[in-house]
Structure 1
């Protein structure tokens, strides 16, 4: 009976030691600290000021670190004069084509002070 209990005790110790050894080889308790998180959306949200179209402001939590977010203005609800003024600011007129200066029109006497003597 004593030999049987010693044999079972030895087998039990061997099994426990083997289990500890294999769990350490796979990473054990350190595995969770090294592995990456497997989620699409992270919980970090940043405080942001949201400015509405009427000018009021609300503090929200946003996924990107921005200070201010402005909602776009619906141009269909604006008066005609305001809409045209916004379009003029957004798309300015065509550029004026400037006349290029040619070498025949240059007066060399104006640049004599820059020449070395």
Structure 2
């Protein structure tokens, strides 16, 4: 009688557990709710990028170390032209204009090619 009641209890427990955890078609192994149970986690970041240590030079000459997305040795902050004096502004603008690439003038190509000089090579013998 005890054996029958134990078996009946185990069957009811197994049926109850089946109703709690519906079968999933992805996994073939039984779920283990013990210390061997694992879960997949992810870091909620948009991008996984590496940053590199870079020395940044400010406009006043001071330097700081920052982390930047590209590997560089030194990075300089741009100068605000509105804070410069009129003479310094003109010097910078003149230097900027001279560094621009000037368009090269096309030299007309003159050719003295005459087709009749090469006709003798085209004839079949």
TM class by shorter chain equals 0.5 to 0.7
Q: Match of 1:112?
A: none
Q: Match of 2:27?
A: 25
Structure-1-length-normalised TM-score: 0.53
Q: What is the number of residues matched between the two proteins?
A: 101
Aligned with residue 71 of structure 2, among 26, 41, 66 = 66
Summarize the alignment of residues 40-51 of structure 1 with structure 2, pairs less than 5 Å apart.
40=46, 45-51=51-57
**Which consecutive unaligned segments of at least 5 residues does structure 2 have?**
32-36, 112-125
The Cα of 1:9 is off from its aligned counterpart by 1.8
Summarize the alignment of residues 28-107 of structure 1 with structure 2, pairs less than 5 Å apart.
32=40, 37-40=43-46, 45-62=51-68, 64-67=69-72, 68-92=74-98, 95=102, 98=105, 100=107, 103=110
